Structure 1
Amino acid sequence: MQDCNSAKNPMSATDVPQLNDGAQPTDATRYRRVLGKLQYLSFTLLDINFSINKLSQFMYCPSEVHWKALKRVLRYLQSTIQLALHIQRDNDFKLYMYSDADWAGDVSDRASTTGYILFFSQNLVSWSSNKQRTIARTSTDAEYRAVASALDETNWVTNLLKELHVSLPQAPTIYCDNVGATYLCANPIFHTRMKHIAVEFHFVRKQVQQNQVHIVHIHAADQLADTLTKALPKSTFDKHLFKLGVITHGLS
């Protein structure tokens, strides 16, 4: 695919692959071989992380539609080979996280997708895109589970920094675009509405009450973690990549 046509984004925002699409099956061995190589590449390329996570869900019975979507990722990589994650020097040791969930976004089983992005100072240091294991009954449920996953990662990085004798000037902040989940993290009144959530997720509220972390609401348009929960239109995708520090190599 060296001379292939370029793709503006790794996955179409209007034609997301599905499990049962009715298309003819494709060569599963070929599909898994290419996807396996891209999985390793996604460890360092945030922009294809969601797409690879999504396409990995079809590796046991891929169709021609899935293969076409996988080739789109390759065409995107070919046209954006100059992009790189920009790391810059900074003495402002703040730790903050963007957490998001695409509630019932998978039309096959209505599972939600969790995405989080962690910044240390102005530099992106960690990210994740994963399908939630249980079905969320409400958007607040899905977002709260995403915050819990984000807090797990935040705690791990915080402990790592302590071992490296790096002290944070303030408690880490997690940005969430769901008002209900933000209130639930701090307000016990909402507990009666969310009893179906496993007990372990309420460790979020405990750390908020102990001022070990701050959960802050932001507007959905500023939610950078959207990049890891759903396929985005070209304009939104590019805007998020720029804010995440994924820019053309050599520019600052």
Structure 2
Amino acid sequence: MEQNHRLAHASGEPFAHPDQYRRLVGRLVYLSATRPELSYSVHVLAQFLSVPQVSHWDAAIRVLRYLKGSLGQVILLRPTTDLRLTAFCDSDWAACPFNRRSLSGYFVFLGRSPVSWKIKKQPTVATSSSEVEYRSMALTSRDLKWLKMLLFVLGVKHSKPMQLFCDNQSALHIAKNPVFHERMKHIEVDCHFVRDELVNGNISTSYVLMGHQLADILTKALGRQHFDFLLCKLGIRNLHAPT
């Protein structure tokens, strides 16, 4: 997706074949189940299914050109005995220009391999970036808890706390210091959920620099250099690339 795009404010002519656009986006939705780097682009394109414009179709074709140049790109599942769960969560405050709802995204790793990811528009409008990040932390914590139970059923015990990385220090302080909760009553449920998981030793939170926030690839359009850097960090490799 083009960086700093303004597809939501596009005012060009309507696309002549909207059914063709819908079919293409529908196929990209299924493809994003194994190609996480497409998730943000698919999320943006899927918002214009009712009345797509020519600029939206051009953006979809841009995604197809990217796919044509990376046919061998896959998630590399590494053979390792390290089965610890770690997660990176991020959000884009007031990302939607229509209703100013924020966008949350997260990656969950089993060892060094990504096994779960999600991008979701938050159901309510947030009044601060800290609130947005904290809701993203709560969403990620729920998925971590579910994956831990699933691994236990499969015979994999996870005794150590699961690591949750976030690039918002304010949200991390709220999670660790219950005094902050009095100022955040409008997200009290999420506050107490993450706080309880911290107290029970199920998760531990850590700060990660913005440039190394792996979930950025799910919440915003990035430049080519940063996009390729995050792909490498996610363990996504192109099998057809020359060695």
Q: TM-score range by the shorter chain?
A: over 0.9
Q: Residue 71 of structure 1 aligns to which amino acid in structure 2?
A: I
Q: Check whether the contact 2:181–2:191 (CA below 8 A) recurs between aligned residues.
A: no
User: Does residue 218 in structure 1 map to residue 208 in structure 2?
Assistant: yes
Closer, same or farther: CA 25–202 of 1 in aligned 2, 3 Å: farther
User: Residue 154 of structure 1 is aligned with which of 144, 165, 173?
Assistant: 144
Structure 2 residues without counterparts, runs of 5 or longer: none
Give the TM-score normalised by the residue count of structure 1: 0.92
Q: 1:201 to 1:117 in 2, by over 3 A?
A: same
Runs of 4 or more consecutive aligned structure 1 residues displaced over 4 Å after TM superposition = none
Contact 2:103 2:219 in 1 (8 A): yes
Query: Which consecutive residues of structure 1, in runs of 5 or more, have no partner in the other structure?
Result: 1-10
Structure 1 CA distance for aligned equivalents of residues 199 and 23 of structure 2: 47
Structure 1 residue 201, shift from structure 2 partner = 4.8
- Structure with bigger helix share is 2
1:93–1:169 CA contact under 8 A, matched in 2: no
Q: Distance in 2 between matches of 1:113 and 1:17?
A: 16
| Structure 2 counterpart of 1:98 | 88
How many residue pairs are counted as aligned between the two chains?
241
Distance 1:38 1:242 in 2: 22
Residue 226 (structure 2) pairs with residue 236 (structure 1): yes
Question: Is residue 97–residue 116 contact of structure 1 (8 Å, CA) maintained in 2?
Answer: yes
Paired-residue identity, %: 36
Q: CA–CA distance in 2 between the matches of 1:159 and 1:144?
A: 23
- Select which of 177, 186, 192 maps to 1:196: 186
Question: Are the equivalent residues in 2 in contact too, given 1:82–1:249 (CA < 8 A)?
Answer: yes
Relative to structure 1, is the Cα distance of residues 55 and 209 closer, same or farther in structure 2, using a 3 angstrom cutoff? same
Note the alpha carbon deviations across 1:1-32, whole angstroms, 9 max, x for none. Answer: xxxxxxxxxx01122421x4211111221110
CA RMSD in angstroms comes to: 1.5
Instruction: Tell me the TM-score normalised to structure 2 length.
Output: 0.95
Distance in 1 between the 2:159 and 2:191 partners? 26
Aligned to 2:2: 12
Matched, 1:82 2:86: no
State how far apart, in whole Å, the 2-side matches of 1:200 and 1:174 are.
15
1:232 is paired with a residue whose SS is: coil
Which residue, 135, 141, 160 being the options, matches 1:145? 135
Kindly provide the amino acid, as one letter, of the partner of residue 165 in structure 1: G
Matches within 5 A, 1:162-177: 162-177=152-167
Is the aligned partner of 1:23 residue 2:24?
no
In the TM superposition, residue 186 of structure 1 has moved relative to its aligned partner by: 1.7
Change (3 A) 1:201 1:58: farther
1:199 Cα deviation from its structure 2 partner: 2.0
Quick check: 1:113–1:129 contact (8 Å CA) kept in 2?
yes
